[in-house]
């Protein structure tokens, strides 16, 4: 609860990560490339927001975060993001970045920073997370589409307008 946590990507996973970190009592910084999501991130529980693509904004918070959770698969300014970490800080990947991550190792070595990643958690861990959600009233924000409009739902998702999960409801006769 004393950590300063950053969440990169206010999306399907990211919006929940902000809620989790806030419920744990962490100071939460939300990183987004979308100006329209800044106010939403604050409503989700972030204490402040930073552009994930503006190197000047990233440099302004250099060395301040203990943990940085990357929930997106986009190629980003990895050196600048690593620079937001305090000494011994960790950047953890849960988004799948399909391109090579270009970064220098100097800031990893000199500040003893690290990078880690993890897959979907075990069923036991998922149950603990669900219990935590129930205790703290954490639920995803979803938009519903009938199955007959699946193409509209996919287009909505691809356009980046989904807030934050899309659910298809069966409407078969």
Angle between helices 37-44 and 14-24 (to 10 degrees): 40
Q: What is the DSSP string of 58-75?
A: HHHTTT-EEEEEE---S-
CA distance 58 to 113: 16
CA distance 2 to 141: 27
pLDDT for the residue numbered 20? 97
Q: Which residue has the tokens 């503006």?
A: 54
User: Average pLDDT of each block of 10 consecutive residues along the chain (173 residues)?
Assistant: 96 96 98 92 97 94 98 93 97 94 92 94 95 97 96 93 93 80
Question: What pairs with residue 145 in β-bridges?
Answer: 168
pLDDT for the residue numbered 130? 97
CA distance 154 to 72: 18
* Rg from Cα positions in the chain: 17
pLDDT for the residue numbered 107? 87
Which of 124, 91, 132, 129 lies closest to 108 in space, CA to CA? 91
**Length of the chain counted residue by residue:** 173
pLDDT for the residue numbered 62? 97
pLDDT for the residue numbered 172? 80
């Amino acid at each position: 609860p004393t950590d300063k946590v950053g969440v990169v990507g206010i999306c399907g996973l990211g919006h929940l990560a902000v809620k989790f970190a806030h419920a744990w009592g962490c100071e939460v910084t939300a990183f987004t490339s979308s100006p329209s999501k800044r106010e939403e991130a604050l409503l989700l529980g972030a204490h402040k927001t930073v552009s994930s693509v503006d190197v000047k904004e990233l440099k302004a918070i250099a060395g301040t975060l203990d943990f940085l959770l990357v929930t997106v698969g986009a190629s980003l300014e990895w050196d600048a993001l690593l620079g937001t970490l305090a000494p011994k800080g960790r950047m953890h990947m849960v988004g799948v970045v399909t391109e090579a991550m270009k970064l220098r190792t100097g800031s990893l070595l000199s500040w003893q920073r690290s990078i880690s990643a993890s897959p979907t958690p075990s069923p036991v861990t998922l149950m603990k997370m669900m219990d935590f959600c129930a205790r703290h009233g954490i639920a995803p924000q979803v938009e519903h589409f009938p199955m007959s409009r699946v193409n509209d739902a996919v287009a909505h998702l691809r356009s980046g307008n989904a807030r934050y999960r899309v659910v298809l409801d069966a409407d078969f006769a």
